[in-house]
Every structure is written in C-alpha cells, then in structure tokens.
Amino acid sequence: MTTSHPSREALRERAAAALTAARVRTAGLTDAVSDADLTAQHSPLMSPLVWDLAHIGNQEELWLLRNVAGRESMRPEINPLYDAFEHPRAERPKLPLLGPGEARRYAAEVRGRVFDLLEHTPLEGSALLDDGFAFGMIAQHEQQHDETMLITHQLRQGAPVLTAPDPDAPYDPPRDAEVLVPGGPFTMGTSAEPWSLDNERPAHVRDVAPFWIDTVPVTNAAYLAFIADGGYREPRWWAAPGWQQIREHSIEAPLFWHREAGQWLRRRFGVTEPVPEDEPVLHVSWYEADAYARWAGRRLPTETEWEKAARFDPATGRSARYPWGDADPTASLANLGQRHLRPARAGSYPAGASPLGVRQLIGDVWEWTASDFLPYPGFRAFPYREYSEVFFGPEHKVLRGGSFAVDPVACRGTFRNWDLPVRRQIFSGFRTARDV
C-alpha cells in the first residue's frame, strides 16, 4: 500500500547512505594530506583539519549515542576540546587535540556504534527520532564540516592534493539577462521537509512586490568590468564598514586573485590559472557583492525574494522543494557534492531552472542576499540554541543556494546559510536584483 511517508526500512537506508557518503568525503579530504598538514593551522580563520575530523565524531557521539541512545560519554575528557563554542578557531592548535590516527579511530568507533544503533532504533516517538531526524542532522553536520575542510584546502599553500574533473554540465546561454518575478504571496520556509533544520521552519506566507532578478549569478567577466572601472577605488559604492575593510587590507579583487603581466590569475586548490570569465565570481564578501550591485545600478535580492524566485511556481501557486520541482538533485540539475572543484559556466544546467526561468539557484556558488539572519515567525530552537538562535541579528548576512562544495543532503530551496559580511574564504558569489 502506498503511503505518504517512507517505510522505517527506507528511512534507515536513507540515513545509512547519507552517513556513509559523508564519511567517504571526510576520508578523502583528510587522507589526501600528510599528518603535518592535518595538524597545521592553514589560516587563523579555520581549525586544523584534525580538529574537524575529531569534532565530527564527537558531535555524532553527543547526539546519537548520548542523546538518542542515552549512553555514557565514551571519552568525557575530550568533550570540551571539540565544543565549537568553547574555543575560538584561532586557539584550537594550542589544545591537546587527538592526533590524526587517534582521531580517525575515535570517529570510526563512534560510527560503528551508530550503525548498530540505527539498525535497532525505532525512527519515531520523539522529535529527535521522527523520520530519522537526528541521523539526518548528523549527516548534514558532517557534510557542512566537509565543506569547511574544503575551504581549508583552498587556503592551504603548496602543491595540489585534490583533483576532480571540470564541470561538463549541459550549457544553454539564457536569452534574457534578468527575469521578472511577479508580486504577491508565496509560502516561504517549510514545516514538512523531514530533515530541515530549525531556522528553515515554520512554513509561512510572505507577500513580495514584483522585482527583476539576474537569470544567472554575476560572472567573473562582469565583475572584472567593475574592477576595471575603479570599483575598488570609489567609496560611493561601498557601505562604510566595507570601505574601511578594503582600505585597511588593500583589497582590490576577489580573494585568491592577483594580476600578473596584465592578466588576472587565480589560485584554486593549489593551481594557478587565468580567471575564467564565464564562471560565476567566487570568494567575494557581502561588502563586495553589495558594492558591485550599487555600481551596476542594482541591489542584492532579499532572502525572501531569492526564495520566491527559486521555489514559486506561478502556474500552481505552490512552493517546490527545489527550483526544478520536488525531485532530489541529480548531476544534470545542479553542481553539488564536490563532484567538481569549481563552479560551472553561467548558463549551465538549463533543466535545473525555476518555473520562472532563473538558473543555477542551487549549487555552484553560495549567493549573498541583502537580508540579516533572523528567525521566522514562530521559530523554535531545536535541538539546541547554538545551531541558529545565537547567530540571529544584524551581524550576519544570509547566503542561499549552496555551492559546488555542498552535498545535496545539506542543500534545498529552504536551506539558510549565514556568515559575517567580511567573509571571503567561503565559496560565495551573488546575483543582483532591481525593483520594477
């Protein structure tokens, strides 16, 4: 008999597959480098890779073995070391962290016990267990740290250690540079996605005035025009804190770019190459995105506008899970999951367009929005305040859509990311909008 919910066995298989995929990726990111690289801090902005490795295991133990199964802590003496709120990233190399081998053994032992737990635990009866939420949350947590570790790989100096094929996505340049999104109400957020996180909830109606939005993310070629026009030398385009930031740090281009013999080059995972003009611009801060938009006579879309452009179907009036509908992502729809180590050309993945025709809203680059990170009406922190609630406020700006470094399990049309507006090491780009 067909039901609206997957069977318990199907949920177990989904959770096991998500956890396994995350661990395979973690291994690839940590086995690729030497123990010296694992324990080094490649930037004060990031933890040593070995901290992330053990933290992944520690969070898995905390939520699945201790909270779900009610077991005693395996190694209580290490728990404070891997509490992300206990020690700032810059201080973590000084801690008595587990070494690479010990961290791998610890994470593997936790995983073995978790798989045994998954096999025997009823996936219902509490908010943590319903639909396998706790297992899905941990799979997402590990994938989020995998993206963090990939950022560390990008910051790492030295010869390349990661490889991946270049994107070979279907490509069809859009005819129009921008798309009109009609005004009116739409449903934002979700109350139904079983593994959605607290800041995505609950579903609620927002009313949006009509607006225009870029069909594709802003490209390197477009951003180069901003640079060539003196964008980094003209204070009128910049918010005051952003102008102060670029003057103090002598910023004149996206992070990892430099000019040599009259040509702009970039460093990408240890490879130096010409900046590809047809790719979405990458490694720009919110301040840079905002300044470009002002220079172009446009603005950044609000988070609400971004989600309406991504999810709203004017033919049905409903909001889908993804721009292309409710089906899970595939390689023909979006650039996700670290299959590639770069964005695809702007204009790729025509099958992944929204019903309105907006392209590449999922994957390729995180997209800065104009919005502060705030709770939705009716927000309830779950299962812990430190995931979202402690970050709410004007200090953090919202990013949407996910990048090539994001796994599908941690990416959907309602997923919300956030960061400080100065951040540039993240895989961030943007698109612009304008009022009608």
The pLDDT of residue 3: 39
CA 43, CA 53: separation in Å to the nearest integer? 17
Residue 278 pLDDT > 70 = yes
Residue 6 pLDDT level (bands cut at 50, 70, 90):
confident
Per-residue pLDDT reduced to its tens digit, 157-212 = 999 999 999 999 999 999 999 999 999 999 999 999 999 999 999 999 999 999 99
pTM: predicted TM-score of the whole model, two decimal places: 0.96
Q: Across the chain, what does the average pLDDT equal?
A: 97
Region 421-433: what's the mean pLDDT?
98
Instruction: Tell me how crowded residue 36 is: count the other CB atoms within 10 A of its CB.
Output: 8
Chain centroid to CA 135: how far?
19
The pLDDT of residue 2: 37
Per-residue pLDDT reduced to its tens digit, 19-33 = 999 999 999 999 999
The pLDDT of residue 4: 52
Residue 254 pLDDT > 50 = yes
Angle among Cα 417, 422, 423 to the nearest 5 degrees reads 50
Q: Please provide the distance, in angstroms rounded to a whole number, between the alpha carbons at the two ends of the chain.
A: 49
Residue 252 pLDDT > 50 = yes
CA 426, CA 403: separation in Å to the nearest integer? 9
Residue 5 pLDDT level (bands cut at 50, 70, 90):
low
Region 49-73: what's the mean pLDDT?
98
Per-residue pLDDT reduced to its tens digit, 308-325 = 999 999 999 999 999 999
Region 135-139: what's the mean pLDDT?
98
Residue 357 pLDDT level (bands cut at 50, 70, 90):
very high
pLDDT over 70, % of the chain? 99
Region 411-423: what's the mean pLDDT?
98
Region 107-136: what's the mean pLDDT?
96
Given a contact cutoff of 8 angstroms between Cβ atoms, the answer to whether 158 and 43 are in contact is no
CA 116, CA 67: separation in Å to the nearest integer? 15
Residue 249 pLDDT > 60 = yes
The CA R_g of the chain, rounded to the nearest whole Å, is: 22
Residue 256 pLDDT level (bands cut at 50, 70, 90):
very high
